Structure 1
């Protein structure tokens, strides 16, 4: 018989076209052998039809040339992954989107994007009546470009490790209202793996004719509305309008949605955000910290407009200057005058040496839609409460602070720095965090500026996951291995790479090796074939 999981199985067709009273009479009057013979013939006919339709869908997919990758490899759990040079989270998301939408176009299935509740995944809507065609074309797509699917609503993840080209991967499809398609992707070093937390979700929408105006009804809530007019016009929209993690470059290919869904997200940040990197250490490990910071920006913050490098030492030769990268020479202590940096956006992220992004972030993770900053709260103890920045913050605002601020990438507004100067706040002495024997507390500039912004109503401290590690920490290798496996922290900060303890104990080399594995994909700010990562065992 035809596969029982198929929407056009013999049992499904038999129940659909033969009324229940007739089936009941047949069960008592028609011999069992005759019934089996009739059902067997029906099953064979349907199987041949299904095979013919699958071959037709496969030809369409092949003619469209979908599913290109450099080669295939296997993940640790045995699933097939696709290798791409220059892989980024944003590129993987766009590859998935283009694969699915082009396959649907090849099968002439109408679709539109839906602003889903989960920003990690893009959502595509198709009509319930096209469910059979969608299954065939997506199965053919996954035969050409191996991927995986699960049922999201109702939830069923038992097909997670079964390739989507196999019939049994679709056993939950008949009852599914929402499915998720994922493709595992990795870079040539196979250190960066993407796809598990991304993918494309497909919703099956129904038509409702209870009202005079026909409506389309979604299977679950979304960010805007669950019911839209059936005659709603389609409009082009950038992926960044549907997903906060996407690049907001207007030159990129848009997607299609309904006019009713072209509504700004509640957390959407529309103003430009720059990044400022401090370059201080003209050493091999110092270059690796700078390289890793640039790669973390390239990999996890594609929405950043321009990267400004404030160089207190000779910039590395491997830096590639372009319209998105500017290098400004400065003296030590220049970070207190960043508001004077030429062409700097009003809102920017400040990355000191060792500050990194650990996973994809949105502008909303660091800024509010109204323009406020969202710095991370840090530890608070007796020594922190007596720090010089606490006294300086009280002098500038007349208000006491009750917490410190976490290290790592920092959100800033230029007008807050300007107001600090107008309030008479002076620059505090700043120590080199990479030369301190222990991990420092709140950076003086962060403490004063964020406290001033909070009192003035320009900052709203938050508490996302972060970590700070000193390179001389005993057993740092185990901690780094855990970070590499989990990749679950939003921001990282490394201290003490220049200390004698870290270099003698192997901590500096361990951190550099970690950076090579955590950020294997070169950024657009590095010259091709130049400035290869430094051997971590080379003395600095």
Structure 2
């Protein structure tokens, strides 16, 4: 029998060619054996036609040279993955986008990008009339470059483990209004896997002629509008305008959308955001923390404009200063004077030693479109209420604090620091968290600055889960392994790598091993592009 999910299956063709009254009469007058024989011949004819069209689509895909990777491998769940050196989440997203759009272009199928509600994924729209052709070319693409397909609307996830080249993987396609294509990609170490939460979604838009102006109607809501004129002109637009997780580099290849979709997203950040990293420990574990912080920005925050390394010790030789990274020598306690840093953007992320991004992030996760920061709240207890930073915050604002602030990357504004300095507040001493025997409370600078920003309308604190671990914690290896397997924490903070207890218990070594596995891809900020064996020493 022919593929029942095909847009021209034997059942559908039989229903289209034979009217309902004739089918009813045939059911009572024509012998069952004759009816089965006719249907079987029709199915064989359609099966041969479908196979011929599939071969034609496969030739087009191969001629276009689509779907390249260094080699294939298998993910921990047994599915096929593709290995790419220098892989990042943003690179995987662009590889998927280019793969699908080039396949549609090869089949001469018109398409345009849509600003989907979930901007982790790129969404493309095609005409519902092209649904059969889309299926053939995408199945050929997934045969050439193994990936997976599921139905999004209506939901049908039971095909997610079947390679998209299999006919059974398309069993929900006939009724699908939106489908998702995913490719699993990894780096050569196979420690980093990307693709499960990304992929390309394809919506099938229909034409509506009820009004004088013909319109295209989407199958689901998006961030702009569901209906657009069918004659709306197409324009080129950067992927960063469709997804907050994308690189803002204007030199990258754009995509195509309709002019009606070229509007600001509600959560779109239009101002530049820098990152400030503190370098304090000229030790192997100190360098490992700096590498990991740079790699976390490279992997999970490609929208960061310039990275500023504030070096309170001699900077490592492998740091590659260029137009995207600057190195500034400073004295201890320089955090209180970051607003005096030359060429620093007004909005920036501050990463102290041990602060890491663990998942893809957006500028909107840390800033509001009107420019306010969104600092992460932390626990509040008696120790926090009597901490020196609480008294200082009250002195500067006249208002009592009500919560602490989380460890890990925190957003700041140079304007907030400038206003705070104008109040005459005396900077508090800042302890070295990597030498602390316990997980400390709210970092004094964060507590004072964020509370001051909140009371002056420059900050809007929000809550989000974060992970803070001390290297001397008993059983820290299990905690780190859980982080590595799940990769579900956006904010990570590691403490105590320089303590004697952590070195004696093997916690420092366990953290270094974790960092090398969690961030295996070198960043563009590393001049040597490799990790020294010395980094493995505690």
1:502-521 Cα offsets, whole Å, 9 max, x none, are: 00010100111100111000
TM-score by length of 2: 0.99
Taking the TM superposition and a 5 Å limit, the aligned residue runs for 1:126-165 are 126-165=126-165
C-alpha deviation, 1:533, in angstroms:
5.5
1:72-94 Cα offsets, whole Å, 9 max, x none, are: 00012211000000000000000
Give the Cα–Cα distance (whole angstroms) in 2 for the partners of residues 533 and 16 of structure 1.
69
TM-score by length of 1: 0.99
C-alpha deviation, 1:529, in angstroms:
4.6
- How has the CA–CA distance of structure 1 residues 533 and 308 changed in structure 2, closer, same or farther, with 3 Å as cutoff? farther
Unaligned 5+ segments in structure 2 are none
Q: Could you tell me which residue of structure 2 aligns to residue 469 of structure 1?
A: 469
C-alpha deviation, 1:40, in angstroms:
1.5
Assess if the C-alpha contact under 8 Å between 2:522 and 2:530 holds in 1. Answer: no
Assess if the C-alpha contact under 8 Å between 2:523 and 2:529 holds in 1. Answer: no
Assess if the C-alpha contact under 8 Å between 1:288 and 1:534 holds in 2. Answer: no
C-alpha deviation, 1:278, in angstroms:
0.3
Assess if the C-alpha contact under 8 Å between 2:218 and 2:227 holds in 1. Answer: yes
1:99-119 Cα offsets, whole Å, 9 max, x none, are: 110000000000000110001
Give the Cα–Cα distance (whole angstroms) in 2 for the partners of residues 464 and 437 of structure 1.
25
Three-state SS of the structure 2 residue aligned to 1:158 is helix
Give the Cα–Cα distance (whole angstroms) in 1 for the partners of residues 379 and 40 of structure 2.
71
Taking the TM superposition and a 5 Å limit, the aligned residue runs for 1:305-454 are 305-454=305-454
Please state if 1:88 is matched with 2:104.
no
1:345-400 Cα offsets, whole Å, 9 max, x none, are: 01100100000001001000000000000000001110110010011001110011
Give the Cα–Cα distance (whole angstroms) in 2 for the partners of residues 337 and 189 of structure 1.
40
Q: Could you tell me which residue of structure 2 aligns to residue 203 of structure 1?
A: 203
Three-state SS of the structure 1 residue aligned to 2:157 is coil
Three-state SS of the structure 1 residue aligned to 2:328 is strand
Give the Cα–Cα distance (whole angstroms) in 1 for the partners of residues 274 and 534 of structure 2.
28
Three-state SS of the structure 1 residue aligned to 2:159 is coil
Assess if the C-alpha contact under 8 Å between 2:109 and 2:126 holds in 1. Answer: yes
Three-state SS of the structure 2 residue aligned to 1:161 is coil
1:160-180 Cα offsets, whole Å, 9 max, x none, are: 000000000000000000001
Give the Cα–Cα distance (whole angstroms) in 2 for the partners of residues 532 and 32 of structure 1.
76
Give the Cα–Cα distance (whole angstroms) in 2 for the partners of residues 463 and 180 of structure 1.
31
Q: Could you tell me which residue of structure 2 aligns to residue 105 of structure 1?
A: 105
Give the Cα–Cα distance (whole angstroms) in 1 for the partners of residues 429 and 328 of structure 2.
22
Q: Could you tell me which residue of structure 1 aligns to residue 507 of structure 2?
A: 507
Give the Cα–Cα distance (whole angstroms) in 1 for the partners of residues 263 and 341 of structure 2.
35
Three-state SS of the structure 2 residue aligned to 1:266 is coil
Give the Cα–Cα distance (whole angstroms) in 1 for the partners of residues 533 and 324 of structure 2.
22
C-alpha deviation, 1:532, in angstroms:
2.9
Please state if 1:485 is matched with 2:476.
no
Aligned residues: 538
Assess if the C-alpha contact under 8 Å between 1:114 and 1:123 holds in 2. Answer: yes
Give the Cα–Cα distance (whole angstroms) in 2 for the partners of residues 151 and 322 of structure 1.
45
- How has the CA–CA distance of structure 1 residues 10 and 148 changed in structure 2, closer, same or farther, with 3 Å as cutoff? same
Assess if the C-alpha contact under 8 Å between 2:82 and 2:184 holds in 1. Answer: yes
